[in-house]
Each structure stands twice: as C-alpha cells, then as structure tokens.
Amino acid sequence: MNAQKTILIVDADRTERELVCETLAGKGFRLVVTGNMYQAFHQIEHLKVDILVAQLRAERIDGLTLLEAAAQHHPDVGVVFITEPNVLETDVGIKAMLAYKDTYFLPKPVNPVHLTALLHRMLENQRLAFENRQLQSQIDEREGLRRLTGNSPQITKIRDMITQIAPTKATVMIYGARGTGKELVARAIHHRSLRHGSLIAFNCATLNENLAESELFGHERGAFSGAYNQRKGRFELAHGGTLFLDEVSQLSLSNQARLLRVLEEREFERVGGNKTIQVDVRVICATNHDLEAASEKREFLPDLYDRLNVIPIHLPTLQERIEDVPLLVKDFLEEFCRQNGKALRTIEPEVIRTLMKYDWPGNVRELKNCIEGIVVMSTQSIIRQIHLPERVLNATGTEFSNLLSVPDVWETADPIENGQRLNVKVGMSLDEINREVLRATLESVDNNKAKAAEILKISRRTVQRKAKAYGLHDEQEL
C-alpha cells in the first residue's frame, strides 16, 4: 500500500527535514521535500499528495494556509504538523486546524517511532475511507437505477444511457417537463460515475443574478454588503464530484459567460477576489425549455449551449409512458406505507385503470403526491375508487385495460417473509384463501410446520390438521 503513497515534507529547518527523511527512507513512500511555501503550493497543485508533513509556524511557512490548500486539492489528505514544545497550549489557530479530519501535531524534536506509527495510522484511515466510499458507491449505484421505475421502452432506453455515460466525464443536459424526474436521473448518473466527491444541486431559477453568482462561485469577505465572511460556492463544494444545475436556462447572460469559462478552463475566481481557483467538477444540467431555440434568439449563449448539450437526455412525460403507472403506484404505495406505519397491502384493479386514464400534467411527481395523500388519509386495507382525488376520478382519458393485464387484487407487498406471492383473486371463498395462505407459508419455510405455525400464529397441530384437510400432504410432501 505504501509504495505509491506520496508524502510532502515542508520544513524550513534543514536539520529537521533530514531527520524526517531519514525516518521515512526505505519504507516505500515517495518523499517530496521543500523548504518554502511557494514550492509547497506548486507540489500540492501538481501532485497527488497523500500526507503533508509541515512546520506549524516558521519563517515563510504558514501551516494553516498549507492545510487549506492541501484539503482543497486532496480531500482525504492527512496532515502532520511539527511544532515547538507547548505551542498547542498557546496557539489560537489550533482549533481551526483541528476542524479538518486527520490532522495531528508532533512536538520537536520529532520522535521517529511516533511519526512512523502516525503515518501508518493515517494511511489505514484513508484505506478504510476509500473502501467505505466504494461500498457506498455500489449501494448508491443500485439505488440510483432502481428508483427509475418502469418497463416502458422510453425509461428502459434512459437506464441504458445512464449506464453507458455515467463512467465518462461528459457534460449531460437533461430535458423534461416538471415532475418527470430530472434530478433523479442526475443522481443516478452521479452514483454510477467514478467520482468520489458529492453531488451538489442548485436551482438557477431561485435567485437573482448577483445572488446566483455568489452561490455558484462563492465570495470573499467584504465583496458586497452583507458579505461578512468568505464563502465557498457550489463549484468549490462539488470539487471532485458533480454539480447539478436545474433550470439552467434561467441563468443571466453574465453568469452564463462565467459558467462557460469554468467548463472550458476548469477555473474561476470568487466574487470580490482575484485568486484563481481550479476545480474538477462534472456538470449536469436540466431544463424544461427549448435551449436550441433560446440560443438562436441569443437569449442563451450559443457557445454555452454547444458546451452543455454534449449528451442530451429527453425525459418522457408520464402520459407518454402510461404503462409504467402500475409499477410506479406499487413503489410509491409501499414507500408511503412504510413511512407512515400503514398496513395497506392491496389496491383494486379499477383504481389502477382510473389512474391510467388521467393525463398527469404534473407527471411522476404529481402521481407520487397523489399516492402519498391516499396513504395518509385511508384507514382501510384496500385502496378503492372512493380514495382517489376528484380530479382523477373525473378523468376522461383513454381506457388502458386492454393494454396490460391488471390482476383482480393488485398487491403492494409480499405478505410472506421470503417473497412467496399469494395467488389470491376476487371470487375465491374464504376457505380457498386460507388454503392458499397455508400453502404459500409452508412453501416459504421449506415445509417446516413449526416455522409455519409461528408465522401464522397458530399451533403446529392446527397446521398439520389444516394441511391434511386442504389436501396439501401430496403437494408439500408433509
């Protein structure tokens, strides 16, 4: 593990530098040594620095400034500060440094054993953090696509596109009406990407030109009235990750020009500042407007349109993929049942048909809100027509009952723990339903009568008696 790890040593004291180098020599580290701030900044910007070992305070060396630069370019960097004895008790800047993760202090003269042990501990922390990110990425990757519910050709094509483009660095433009799931697609792309940073979202339509500029690019203290402190913008916060710009068409022409520069140069300055900040950010944008037409009218910068429209994704309205309504309803119903502690299990097939006749101007978001309201207000175990909002009940759209088969009782959750589904239909007698429940339960526990009795909350003898009465001996080999 150590063979490829780079340690940057910044110390104005030549004797101390040599002591640190001698301590770490032959241990598989790549050692980069300098005695001044200028060279240290250069190495931080151009090398992948895993650990920074530096003086806390010295002539021409400011440890806190080095720490901020290293953390900006290398979020997982570990830092060891070499200090004068007892400096921790008097230095007021220590608290600011301790706010950064993996920051440690060693008093002079450096104890080689302590330094070596500390470096190995920091590298182990980095390894664990990397493995945790990989694991979370795998979970997020599955979750991202799983929430793109539907089997329609349109949504299947979008899932395939996400799988193909996510690992790349290409800029993506998502087109879609309100409520079609633009941010959901952006998150799915980010979760399946190779980027380790966060996804930072910003709605460009929520703020005026000046505030939007500050939100995107940050500002320096005193840059304008009310700017009492320095503030990082969304681009800095998204360094190493993804920036999702919703309603990008609402940006002013001035901010469009700044956005174009960041996309092309990967650098910018905070509002009121002159320090150039370099960032590694993937940009995903979304809009419900025709950007091509806007660019032709010079309402949107043509160069920016070309730069953003590298990979366009067009999301269909819910009406255009109406066959996905049953699956969406199932997901939403189960989600809100869990959230609200409801025991709702089934929904009448006529309800599904009615939902498919409504045109859903608010698309998937409107459907989701509708199902949440039904779950919250219903006190019954079956969702019926009377639970639907008036606007949906009065829908006069196309009848889709011939488009797909809707079962007589549409289930929202498997009642058997291991996922065995009950073949229960309208018209079955109570005795037939009881037989089906017992059959599915026995099948779910590999015919273990004691476990079946525990699940059904009846005695083992009752399970044996009913299995015999229902003729399940031959089927289940009891």
Cβ(83)–Cβ(105) under 8 Å?
A: yes
357 phi and psi angles, rounded to 5 deg: -85, -20
- CA geometry: angle 443, 447, 450, nearest 5 deg: 120
419 band by pLDDT with thresholds 50, 70 and 90: very low
Q: How far apart are CA 306 and CA 169, in angstroms?
A: 16
Predicted local confidence at residue 290, as pLDDT: 94
Q: How far apart are CA 168 and CA 240, in angstroms?
A: 14
**Lowest-confidence region among 100-104, 190-194, 413-417, 454-458:** 413-417
* pLDDT score of 304 more than 90: yes
Q: CA nearest 360: which of 330, 387, 321, 404? A: 321
Cβ(106)–Cβ(81) under 8 Å?
A: yes
Q: CA nearest 205: which of 247, 242, 176, 169? A: 247
Where do we find the tokens 């255009």?
Answer: 320
* pLDDT score of 198 more than 50: yes
| 44's tokens | 């931080």
Strongest mean pLDDT among 2-16, 357-371, 404-418: 357-371
- The alpha carbon torsion through 205, 210, 215, 220 (nearest 10 deg) reads 180
Predicted local confidence at residue 287, as pLDDT: 96
Predicted local confidence at residue 66, as pLDDT: 84
Predicted local confidence at residue 425, as pLDDT: 54
Element (H, E) at 120: helix 112-146
Element (H, E) at 174: strand 172-175
Cβ(243)–Cβ(281) under 8 Å?
A: yes
pTM assigned to the model: 0.58
Q: How far apart are CA 335 and CA 364, in angstroms?
A: 15
* pLDDT, greater one: 226 or 238: 238
Predicted local confidence at residue 229, as pLDDT: 82
Cβ(191)–Cβ(140) under 8 Å?
A: yes
| 146's tokens | 């799983």
Q: What is the mean pLDDT of residues 246-266?
A: 94
Cβ(410)–Cβ(345) under 8 Å?
A: no
Mean pLDDT taken over the chain: 82
Predicted local confidence at residue 473, as pLDDT: 59
Predicted local confidence at residue 156, as pLDDT: 92
Q: How far apart are CA 463 and CA 413, in angstroms?
A: 24
Predicted local confidence at residue 161, as pLDDT: 94
342 band by pLDDT with thresholds 50, 70 and 90: confident
Q: What is the mean pLDDT of residues 172-187?
A: 94
Cβ(165)–Cβ(284) under 8 Å?
A: no
Strongest mean pLDDT among 302-311, 342-351, 390-399, 444-453: 302-311
| 339's tokens | 């959230």
Predicted local confidence at residue 373, as pLDDT: 93
Where do we find the tokens 């000046």?
Answer: 210
Predicted local confidence at residue 430, as pLDDT: 64
Predicted local confidence at residue 149, as pLDDT: 86
- The percent of residues above 70 in pLDDT, for the chain, comes to 83
- The alpha carbon torsion through 295, 300, 304, 309 (nearest 10 deg) reads -60
* pLDDT, greater one: 421 or 51: 51
87 band by pLDDT with thresholds 50, 70 and 90: low
Q: What is the mean pLDDT of residues 271-276?
A: 90
Domains of the chain are 2-127 (3.40.50.2300), 161-314 (3.40.50.300), 320-413 (1.10.8.60), 425-478 (1.10.10.60)
Q: What is the mean pLDDT of residues 201-223?
A: 91
Q: 3-state DSSP call for residue 80? A: strand
Q: How far apart are CA 259 and CA 264, in angstroms?
A: 9
Strongest mean pLDDT among 118-132, 214-228, 319-333, 453-467: 319-333
**Lowest-confidence region among 46-55, 135-144, 327-336, 358-367:** 135-144
315 band by pLDDT with thresholds 50, 70 and 90: very high
129 band by pLDDT with thresholds 50, 70 and 90: confident
401 band by pLDDT with thresholds 50, 70 and 90: very low
